[in-house]
Amino acid sequence: MGKQILFLDLDGTLLNDKKEITDGNRRAMDEALAKGRRLVVTSGRPLKSSLAQAQRLGLAGDGCYVIAYNGASIYDCSAGKEIFRRTLDWDVLYQVFDEARRREVYVQTYDREDVVTEQEERIENARRYCSVLGLDCRVIRDVRRDVSAPPVKALFIDYQHREPLEDMAQWLRSALAGRADCFFSSPYFLEVVPVGMNKGAAVIELCARLGIDVSDAAAAGDEGNDVSMIRAAGLGVAMANGVPAAKEAADYVTERDNNHDGIEEIIRKFIL
């Protein structure tokens, strides 16, 4: 019997380079859902954007779930509600923003599902980020007063230079050890998340809630932030187009890439 649940990264995994699902992937996913398998869109994007993507892709019905914010939020599409959320401690958020201000490095966080930043002079970073994800952004005066609920993460962005983010990552790992984790989700994005929170932790959390042994789960990804779920699932799969770290962590590397029905290969080989 095949794996009971499949966790799917979006960009570079489920989606081709045109941000579309190939016909072969679509047919295979429809067959998997018809046989009672569960499919989970697993993304670093905020919940609002991840859910909109799932709906656009036809993966928001029965048997479908969405993991957002790199694991900090889990949404049950059948029930129409969020069933899990982990947030940063307020003091962690304040330290992050204070250090970003001191170093003059751009950082943003989330008020509910809106992107917010104190740095009006660099609002173009937020606008560029939000234009891709379909989110709203606004400038706030003070993160201590103007964020209404604990956010799930903070995000440093630098579209031109990697070095300031690398330096910030070193500071974060030292100053916030045991209270928050950080990692790069792209060459431009440095994420700050609740300690222990990643896609792999979300795989374990959702499987436990559904009564599925994690050995009956498969996870597919292509990037560094997918490594934790590739390792956590009973079957970890890296795409042929994946980065070396993803391939090294995987039990199986696809023969086809994200442009040529790579997910269909996984489903027909391990799920159906």
Which domains are delineated in the chain?
5-86+197-271 (3.40.50.1000), 90-194 (3.30.1240.10)
Q: Return the CA Rg of the chain.
A: 18
- The pLDDT of 180-206, averaged and rounded, is 93
Per-residue pLDDT reduced to its tens digit, 56-67: 999 999 999 999
pLDDT > 90 in the chain, percent: 90
Asked if pLDDT for residue 1 goes beyond 80, the answer is no
Question: With contact defined as beta carbons under 8 Å apart, do 182 and 166 qualify?
Answer: no
Tokens of 121: 């002079």
The least confident of 177-186, 207-216, 225-234 is 177-186
Asked if pLDDT for residue 165 goes beyond 80, the answer is yes
Give the model's confidence band at 237: pLDDT under 50 very low, under 70 low, under 90 confident, else very high. very high
CB neighbours of residue 17 within 10 Å: 11
Asked if pLDDT for residue 187 goes beyond 90, the answer is no
Asked if pLDDT for residue 212 goes beyond 90, the answer is yes
Tokens of 133: 């994800």
- d(CA 162, CA 21) in angstroms, rounded, equals 31
Instruction: Report angle CA 257, 261, 264 to the nearest 5 degrees.
Output: 120
Question: With contact defined as beta carbons under 8 Å apart, do 263 and 13 qualify?
Answer: yes
- d(CA 147, CA 94) in angstroms, rounded, equals 11
Distance of CA 235 to the CA centre of its chain: 19
Residues 6+ apart with CB under 8 A from 83: 74, 75, 76, 209
Strand partners, 11: 15
Q: What is the DSSP letter of 70?
A: G
